[in-house]
């Protein structure tokens, strides 16, 4: 799968899309979410730059997401979910990828009125909402869009 994967802390402009293995989950404690949108969070920038003590390397960055459970607990398959923060993108792989594995207890059902194509995953992602959503069909386009936004701040 494609992901924004870092092996060392660096400047935002140095980010690139990498090919990494799709995460696996145990069906009891974790679920696999197919990510449709992942918002830029100010902590993503700090994380990439190495400003979070205890962050692991290498890792996929990203802390906010929205979309569908595709593997894991049978009763959650097909559930539209969203999430943000916690240890995502800091001490475990994050959300700027095609898939993210999250603890089952962290699953939050997405409200019906929240449309992934029209809004970002959560309230932290004001930049995405203000400037518009970049469709999920191209993780490279999402990365370019986010780097431009961060550089303009």
User: What is the percent of the chain where pLDDT is above 70?
Assistant: 72
- Range name among 75-84, 90-99, 106-115, 124-133 with the lowest pLDDT average: 124-133
Beta strands in 28-87 (DSSP E): 30-37, 59-60, 64-71, 80-84
Fold of the domain built from segment(s) 2-152:
Quinone Oxidoreductase; Chain A, domain 1 (3.90.180)
- Give the C-alpha separation, 71 to 30, whole Å: 9
The 59-60 sheet, strands edge to edge: 17-19, 2-6, 59-60
Q: Is 62 exposed, middle or buried (0-12, 13-18, 19+ CB in 10 A)?
A: buried
Residue boundaries of the structural domains of the chain = 2-152
pTM: 0.75
Q: Is the pLDDT of residue 94 over 90?
A: yes
| The pLDDT of residue 132 | 42
Over residues 43-90, the pLDDT tens digits come to 888 899 999 888 999 999 998 888 899 999 888 999 998 888 788 999
């Amino acid at each position: 799968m494609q992901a924004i994967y870092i092996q060392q802390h660096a400047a935002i402009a140095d980010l690139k899309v990498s090919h990494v293995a799709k995460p696996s989950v145990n069906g009891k404690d974790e679920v696999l979410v197919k990510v449709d949108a992942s918002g830029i969070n100010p902590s993503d920038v700090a994380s990439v730059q190495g400003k979070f003590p205890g962050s692991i390397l290498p890792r996929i960055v990203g802390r906010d997401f929205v979309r569908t459970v595709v593997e894991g607990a049978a009763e959650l398959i097909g559930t539209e979910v969203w999430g943000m923060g916690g240890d995502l993108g800091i001490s475990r792989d994050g959300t700027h990828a095609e898939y993210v594995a999250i603890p089952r207890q962290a699953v939050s059902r997405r409200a019906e009125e929240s449309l992934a194509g029209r809004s970002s995953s959560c309230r932290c992602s004001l930049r995405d909402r203000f400037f518009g959503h970049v469709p999920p069909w191209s993780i490279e386009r999402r990365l370019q869009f986010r780097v431009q936004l961060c550089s303009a701040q």
